[in-house]
Amino acid sequence: MSRKAILALVCGAVVLTLAMGIRQTFGLFLSPMSIDLGIGRSSFALAMAVQNILWGLAQPFAGAVADRFGAGRVLAAGTAAYAAGLLMMAGATDVWGLHLGGGVLVGMAMSCTSFAVVLGAVSRAVPAEKRSMALGVASAGGSFGQFIMAPVGQSLISAQGWPGALTWMAIIALVIAPLAVVLAGRPATQGAAAGGAPTQTLREALAEAGSHRGYVYLTLGFFVCGFQVVFVAVHLPAHLTDIGLSAGLGATSLALIGFFNIVGTWICGVLGGRYSKKYLLSGLYVLRSLVVAAFLVAPKTEATVLAFAAAIGLLWLGTVPLTSGLVAQIFGVRYMSTLFGVVFLSHQVGSFLGAWLGGVVFDATGSYDSIWLASIALGFLAALLHVPIADRPLRPAEA
């Protein structure tokens, strides 16, 4: 790869490290904020659910702006919204401050600073034969962020309380802004395809994808990914304290998930460049369901929790380079941020339900068991959905 491509890859990975890493600490704030603000877990979970659904709803639009004007402007706007949302959370005195800051502003910020925008820029910067590996490396940045930010977040909460911790998180988020400069290049206008075919418009690209059965299956499958990972990220720390384990184990578990996902995401990116991405995705969802099932029946000790965190971490965000890579493989990279943004909207609908229903079910029953079981069933369903996807490139010259 050229120096420019490597620099874009590094900066993209660091942006995802910060954007995803900060967000993945929010589960650590569930218990202290719920107690201090006098709200139930369902209220905190609803704020996280709002964050996820707004992230998804705004993602196709953020992707479209990035596809037309470049990722730099989108990342800069997202940085400002991210810092503002964290500061509003830090100053919250009731549930509305939590919902506006952690829900609305952070949700909008994530649509500008996360996978669709960053991976679209990286895809256009690297050669096609290196793309799957590069997407895996960049996606692993989000996992590395979880690995380093979970213990940082817990330490900040212990030392300064949750308001001080969120203030520091806002300062850290501002580091994204200078990195946006490297990713600020405007995407090249799509030229005529081989054989003199006319330039494809965004509307035509969306219509083509919407009529592609494989794209629909991929979109439905990504719903399951969102449901599974966000439920675990938001509720696992509280679940562990509910069963008598320490709060520190929750932070350690999130960090361990992040650490092992660095490896897992990179491996998925490499494998996606050599083998069928749709079959890799199908196998990944089956393995997720089996890991969750094993966790449910195992005795809840520190050792089994850490083993679960390591195993689910290997499977955590490996879906991202495989799913985004499959979008690029089938439809090309010109409108990848937009097309992957639509797929990601489905992911965030699942995230909304995983975060919110986790809180609702717990407040109603005092247990997360039914949500764990739903996660297992959905994983097997997602595995079946990926098998019939037609993954042949529609325009090989642009793939």
**Per CATH, is 3-183+202-394 categorized as 1.20.1250.20?**
yes
342-359 CB burial, b ≥16 within 10 A, e <16:
bbbbbbbbbbbbbbbbbb
For 113, half-sphere exposure in the C-beta direction (CA atoms, 13 angstrom radius) is 34
Structure tokens at 369: 């068991």
Question: By the 8 A CB rule, do 90 and 368 touch?
Answer: no
Structure tokens at 9: 């890859």
DSSP 273: T
Q: How many CB atoms lie within 10 A of CB 127?
A: 10
Which of 56, 242, 254 shows the shortest CA–CA distance to 154?
A: 254
Name residues whose C-beta falls within 8 Å of residue 289's C-beta, 6 or more positions apart in sequence: 375, 376, 377, 379, 380, 383
The predicted pLDDT at position 194 comes to 41
The reported pTM is: 0.77
The predicted pLDDT at position 113 comes to 93
Integer Cα distance of 355 and 234 in angstroms: 6
Conformational region of residue 366, where left means phi above 0, alpha means psi within -120 to 50, and beta covers everything else: left
Residues 206-238: tens digit of each pLDDT: 899 999 999 999 999 999 999 999 899 888 888
Helices (H) and strands (E) in the chain, counts: 17, 0
The predicted pLDDT at position 94 comes to 87
The predicted pLDDT at position 91 comes to 92
CA-derived radius of gyration, the chain = 20
Cβ-in-10-Å burial (0-12, 13-18, 19+) of 37 comes to: middle
Which of 215, 130, 150 shows the shortest CA–CA distance to 20?
A: 150
Integer Cα distance of 70 and 48 in angstroms: 28
The predicted pLDDT at position 234 comes to 82
Integer Cα distance of 210 and 327 in angstroms: 12
The predicted pLDDT at position 396 comes to 64
Instruction: Cite the DSSP H helix spans in 298-368.
Output: 302-314, 319-331, 336-365
Q: List 197's β-bridge partners, or say none.
A: 193
Integer Cα distance of 268 and 275 in angstroms: 10
The predicted pLDDT at position 196 comes to 42
Structure tokens at 205: 């690209």
Q: Quick check: helix, strand or coil at residue 315?
A: coil
Sign of the CA dihedral running 143, 86, 68, 338: positive
Stretches where the chain sits below pLDDT 50 are 190-197
Residue type, 256: L
